C-alpha cells in the first residue's frame, strides 16, 4: 500500500434514553458499512459512495439531542491503517459468508418454484446490499457471485427464468 487512504470519522455521543436512538445509529452505521475505531467513533473510507449517508447520520444524531462530529483523517502509522482495512475486509467476508450459507440450501430441485423465486430474490437483495458495504472489494464476493450465477442458471430452465432475469438486471447483476 503506497498512498494513505483518506478516512471520514464520525465521533458521536447520544443520551442513554431513549435507547431506540442508539439502536437506530448502530443499525444505520451497519447499513452504511462503517467500522468502529473505538466506542463512539466509526470510520468509513472517504472514497466510499456512502459518505453522504454518514454526513446525514451526523445531522440526525444532532436532531436526536446527541453530539456528532464528522472529520476527515488519515492514519499516521501505516500498520494501524492496514489493521482497519483488515477489519473492513473481515466485516465484508462475514456478511458474504452468511449469504453464501443461505445459498447452500436454496436449491435442491424439489422446491416450490414461486417460493424458490422469492428466496432467490432475497439472496440477490442481500448480496446487493453487502456489495454496497464492501469498501475494499473482498475476495469473498466472487465466491458468492459464482453461487448466485449457478442458481440462476438452474432457474433459467423454469418458467420463472425470464422474470428472474429482469429482477437480476434491475439489481445490477
The CATH number assigned to the domain holding 44 equals 3.30.70.240
Q: What is the predicted pLDDT for the residue at 14?
A: 94
Which position has the higher pLDDT, 127 or 12? 12
Cell reading at 72 = 476527515
Nearest of 157, 76, 80, 164 to residue 118 by alpha carbon: 164
Last residue of a domain, one of 42, 74, 106: 74
Instruction: Please calculate the CA angle 20-23-94 and round it to the nearest 5 degrees.
Output: 160
- Model confidence, pTM: 0.76
Domain, as residue range, for 11: 7-74
Whether 86 maps to a domain, the answer reads no
Are residue 118 and residue 146 in the same domain, yes or no?
Answer: yes
Please calculate the CA angle 39-40-46 and round it to the nearest 5 degrees.
Answer: 110
- In this structure, is residue 80 part of a structural domain? no
Res. 161 pLDDT band, cuts 50 70 90: low
Query: Do 107 and 63 share a structural domain?
Result: no
pLDDT at 159 over 60: no
Percent of the chain with pLDDT over 70: 83
Mean pLDDT of all residues belonging to the chain: 84
Q: How far apart are CA 34 and CA 91, in angstroms?
A: 9
Domain total in the chain: 2
If asked whether residues 99 and 61 sit together in one domain, one would say: no
Rounded CA-CA distance 145/90 in Å is 18
Cis peptide before 20 (omega within 30 of 0): no
Last residue of a domain, one of 49, 74, 99: 74
Question: Do 59 and 109 belong together in one domain?
Answer: no
Report the SS3 class of residue 105. Answer: coil
pLDDT of 157 strictly over 80:
no
In a domain, 81, yes or no: no
Indicate the helix (H) or strand (E) that contains 52.
helix 51-63
Rg (CA), the chain: 19
Grouping H, G, I as helix, E, B as strand and the rest as coil, residue 95 is helix
The three cell numbers of residue 74 are 488519515
Residue 153 is assigned to a structural domain of this protein = yes
Amino acid at each position: 500500500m503506497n498512498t494513505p487512504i483518506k478516512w471520514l470519522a464520525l465521533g458521536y455521543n447520544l443520551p442513554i434514553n431513549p435507547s431506540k436512538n442508539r439502536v437506530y445509529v448502530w443499525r444505520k452505521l451497519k447499513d452504511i458499512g462503517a467500522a468502529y475505531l473505538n466506542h463512539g467513533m466509526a470510520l468509513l473510507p472517504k472514497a466510499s459512495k456512502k459518505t453522504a449517508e454518514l454526513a446525514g447520520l451526523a445531522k440526525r444524531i444532532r436532531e436526536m439531542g446527541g453530539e456528532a462530529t464528522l472529520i476527515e483523517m488519515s492514519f499516521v502509522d501505516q500498520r494501524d491503517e492496514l489493521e482497519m482495512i483488515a477489519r473492513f475486509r473481515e466485516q465484508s467476508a462475514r456478511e458474504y459468508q452468511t449469504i453464501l450459507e443461505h445459498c447452500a440450501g436454496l436449491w435442491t430441485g424439489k422446491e416450490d418454484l414461486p417460493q424458490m423465486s422469492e428466496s432467490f430474490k432475497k439472496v440477490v437483495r442481500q448480496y446487493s446490499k453487502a456489495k454496497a458495504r464492501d469498501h475494499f472489494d473482498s475476495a469473498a464476493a466472487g465466491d458468492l457471485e459464482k453461487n448466485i450465477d449457478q442458481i440462476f442458471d438452474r432457474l433459467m430452465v423454469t418458467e420463472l427464468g425470464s422474470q428472474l432475469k429482469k429482477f437480476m438486471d434491475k439489481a445490477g447483476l
